[in-house]
Structure formats: structure tokens, C-alpha cells
Amino acid sequence: MITGIAKMIASAAITAGNYVKVSTSGQIAQAGEGDTAIGKAIESANEAGDIIGVMLIPNGYAIPKPPSS
């Protein structure tokens, strides 16, 4: 199991504090409902290609979708 902080390349802008996932390009993107996050951004990315710190989440985290009304 790998834990800790890793430097990763963003595929687009990412706000610090948000969960991130692996994008189809192999870089990271901000994760949303229904995604499996691999970590949490501890730095912000302003654009694609920025390198940011990510706190890794072992085994990922499935971001729940809100209940239907």
C-alpha cells in the first residue's frame, strides 16, 4: 500500500482541497460524484501541465452520488 504525498501532473485546473482522479490522459483531474478518487489535492493547479502535491488515498475513495428525490 502506498501512502503519503506525491507530485502529479494536472490535466486541467484543480482547486486545493478537492478530490482528484486519473484522467484518460494519465494525468489527474478534479473528481466529482460517482468517481473514484485516488487522492486529495494539497495545492492548486491553474492550468493543464501544472505539477501539484496530492495526498494519496490507499485503495481509492468512491465519491457518493446524492440520493435521488
Q: What is the pLDDT of residues 3-52, one digit of tens each?
A: 899 999 999 999 999 999 999 999 999 999 999 999 999 999 999 999 99
Q: Is pTM beyond 0.95 here?
A: no
Domain membership of residue 33 (yes or no) is yes
34-38 contacts, C-beta under 8 A, 24 or more apart: 34/63, 34/65, 35/62, 35/63, 36/60, 36/61, 36/62, 36/63, 37/61, 37/62, 37/63
Domain membership of residue 69 (yes or no) is no
State how far the Cα of 53 lies from the Cα of 38, in Å rounded to an integer: 12
- The boundaries of the domain holding residue 40 are 5-62
Domain membership of residue 68 (yes or no) is no
State how far the Cα of 25 lies from the Cα of 14, in Å rounded to an integer: 15
Domain count, the chain: 1
